[in-house]
Chains A and B, each alone.
Chain A
Amino acid sequence: MVEKVKFKVFRYRPEDGGKGFYKEYEVPVKKGMTILDGLIYIKENIDPTLSVRYSCRMAICGSCGVRVNSLETLACHTQVLELKRRVIRVEPMRNYPLVKDLVTDMTPLFRKQKALMTWLIRQDNVEQENPTKQYLQSEEELERYLQFTYCIQCGLCYSACPVVSTFPDFYGPQPLMKAYRYYADSRDEGGEERVRLVDRFEGVWRCHFAGSCSAVCPKGVDPALAIQLLRRSALKG
């Protein structure tokens, strides 16, 4: 059965300047169709000027983050009929510079991750580049950070965070969560350096535990938990 659903899509053209506007499209929807399918339908059949970013269409690449009816979600992971609405509002994520329509510039997220050195740090760089053995790890050691490795860097949590909205210098949920992911990894030797990086006003101390990051994460990562655990480590010194 095909139903008509109205997509109210945010449009923004940088060359026009200004604030952007909403444009409505009628989309025929079948069971199983996602928001992304709807947007692609609009692009192919109604308005080819609509810009939307996507790649995998299966909630793996993290490209298609948008706000649907005021809640951050992956467009490819949200079924239209499950929303049970006649009108669906699709907007770009918050807290990022806007490129065009639904496409945001993810640079702030990646810049902050880099500032927090979210990669494996080993004291012996020579060995790290030319490993002679495996870095072994027990099941328990794995469980300490495994949850945080499920992150696909979609940046939805960063868009949902009210602290980033009101204080853009805050590192934000995803970069801080990633810092904890390495801090808690028994193979990592970043230790004190990692704590020093987040032990500042723009770091863990700014989190107010509004939990919106964990509420919207499509991968069940729970950045809010990681930040509190990281703050605990910073308190221990």
Chain B
Amino acid sequence: MLARGVSRSSVIQSLKVMLIPGRYGLERWSYVLQRVSGVVVSLYFIAHVLETGNFVGGITVWSVPDYSFAERAYEETVKLLKNPIFDAGLAVVGFLVALHTINGIRLVLAHFGFSLGRPRRPEPFSPPPSFSSKQRALFWLSISLAVFALLYTLDSLMKVFRP
């Protein structure tokens, strides 16, 4: 599995650096969250296609199955997924998708050199121009929308905020 010259301990070290934001501040948190959300959403996407594909016969989709099969597969899937663990999982996916999209737009802007401050003479105690207030605002917007998506999903699936 491991490439030549790559020791197990260096893989663990890399994972630690990638997944633990440490004390490096907001932008490092964004880096970790963007990665984790990207990977989780990719995995979710694969699982989602496999799961919905079942209704039309999964891998044998090219020979379309009859309606009763699709209906049964659908009922079974719905029954399997109708439990609080999957609901909570979907809420987390909702959180991550909202975060990834808005924070992704923030990163695209930054990568194109927009919404950043201009180079200026360094001054003690003032943040680097690349940590501009526009960039920070977009980050917090992504967090807020992600929290909203989380609560909204929980509410629509589990009716947690309804009397």
Say yes or no for A148: interface residue by CB 8 A criterion: yes
Say yes or no for B117: interface residue by CB 8 A criterion: yes
Choose one: A70, A165, A224; the contact of B13 (CB below 8 Å): A165
B51, chain A: closest CB distance, angstroms: 31
Choose one: A144, A148, A207, A215; the contact of B28 (CB below 8 Å): A215
A residues lining the B interface (CB < 8 Å): 69-71, 94, 143-148, 150, 160, 162, 165-166, 184, 207-212, 214-217, 219-222, 224-226, 228-229, 231-232, 235
Q: How far is the CA of A165 from the CA of B20 in the complex (A)?
A: 13
Does B24 lie within 8 Å of A225, measured CB to CB?
no
Interface 1/0 per residue, B89-119 and A, CB below 8 Å: 0000000000000000001001111001111
Chain B residue numbers with a CB within 8 Å of A150 are 122
Q: How far is the CA of A226 from the CA of B110 in the complex (A)?
A: 11
Q: How far is the CA of A216 from the CA of B31 in the complex (A)?
A: 16
Interface 1/0 per residue, B10-27 and A, CB below 8 Å: 000110011000111111
B155, chain A: closest CB distance, angstroms: 34
Interface 1/0 per residue, B72-100 and A, CB below 8 Å: 00000000000000000000000000000
A161, chain B: closest CB distance, angstroms: 9
B residues lining the A interface (CB < 8 Å): 13-14, 17-18, 22-28, 30-31, 34, 107, 110-113, 116-124, 126, 128-131
Q: How far is the CA of A212 from the CA of B34 in the complex (A)?
A: 15
Known: A165-B17, A235-B112. A222 touches B130 (CB 8 A): yes
Does B24 lie within 8 Å of A209, measured CB to CB?
no
B122, chain A: closest CB distance, angstroms: 3
Q: How far is the CA of A216 from the CA of B25 in the complex (A)?
A: 10
Does A220 lie within 8 Å of B23, measured CB to CB?
no
Smallest CB gap from A19: residue in B: B9
B11, chain A: closest CB distance, angstroms: 10
Smallest CB gap from A233: residue in B: B113
Q: How far is the CA of A146 from the CA of B27 in the complex (A)?
A: 24
Choose one: A219, A220, A224; the contact of B27 (CB below 8 Å): A224
Known: A166-B17, A231-B111, A231-B113. A70 touches B23 (CB 8 A): yes
